[in-house]
Structure 1
Amino acid sequence: MSNIPSEAPVTPVEAFDPPYYVAVFTAVRTQEQSGYSETNARMEDLVKNIPGYLGMDYAQTPGGLAITVGYFRDADALTEWRSDAEHRAAQKRGRAEWYESYTLHVAKVERSHGFRRA
């Protein structure tokens, strides 16, 4: 998942009833970012149409490390996103142009809870 939301939320994605899946994409970007914003916006639109997509959190450190966490109801939803042709093309371009390095971790969530100040 290589998305950086165009409008980062001010609250985290809610806690869901487990099990569900997360894809944690951590990246350092290159100086060359031509076309990145447009591709990122398109990826945001695409992933929202995946049945079982639950949401996304994003954070970036001042030093440039970006972390995107995508939440998916089940493995089938995550597989559909991973297999999307436009997403695959964006990943290929990301490796060629936009990312200095990245890691992807996929995990099944077994416990989840949240807190919100009233």
Structure 2
Amino acid sequence: MIAGFASTPAPPYWMVSFTSARTAVDGDAYAEAAARMLELASIQPGFLGAESVRDSAGLGITLSYWTDEAAIAAWRAHPEHAAVRARGRADWYEHFEVRVAKVERAYSGRADA
């Protein structure tokens, strides 16, 4: 597996897409919170993995993968995650979009193949 790619099982499974535009507010606290959320999500039942990127202009995309909708709902209800989401809305994001989808098909390969 290449670093940065989530290792997911054969479909079906679920994906949460979080796209955000960052503010300039408190980047260090944001980075700490993001790392903590990944650490915390990774021990939640049903978590399969995550992939995340952010460009120099502050646009970021995080994809998290879950076994089912119940696991996603439990993660959303987690108190520490809820507190960080509230802080994000108040301080860290100019705008964000959340999308939830069921992955029915997935494949991978190499660029030179």
Looking at structure 1, the residues matched to 74 and 25 of structure 2 have their Cα atoms a distance apart, in angstroms, of 29
Identity of aligned residues (%): 40
User: Displacement of 1:15 after TM fit?
Assistant: 4.5
Give the conservation status (yes or no) of the 8 Å contact 2:8–2:48: no
TM-score by length of 1: 0.83
Correspondence list, 1:18-37, <5 A: 18-33=11-26, 35-37=29-31
Q: Is the 8 A contact 1:51 1:77 kept in 2?
A: yes
Corresponding residue pairs, total: 110
Seen in structure 2, the aligned counterparts of structure 1 residues 91 and 53 have a Cα distance that, compared at 3 Å, is: same
SS of structure 2 residue aligned to 1:18: coil
Map 1:1-118 onto structure 2 (within 5 A).
10-33=3-26, 35-116=29-110
Aligned-pair Cα RMSD in Å: 1.9
* Matched-pair contact (CA < 8 Å) for 2:8–2:65: no
Compared CA separation, residues 92 and 14, structure 1 to 2 (3 A): same
List runs of 5+ in structure 2 lacking aligned partners.
none
State the one-letter code of the partner of 1:78. Answer: I
Deviation of 1:37 after TM superposition, in Å, equals 2.1
**Aligned equivalents of 1:13 and 1:40: distance in 2?**
17
- Aligned amino acid, residue 82 of structure 1: R
CA contact (8 A) 2:7 2:48 kept: no
Q: Any idea what SS the aligned residue of 2:44 has?
A: coil
Distance 2:102 2:72 in 1: 11
Q: Secondary structure at the match of 2:18?
A: strand
Runs of 4+ in 1 over 6 A off after TM superposition: none
Q: Which amino acid in structure 1 is aligned with residue 9 of structure 2?
A: F
* C-alpha distance in structure 1 between counterparts of 2:90 and 2:56, whole Å: 24
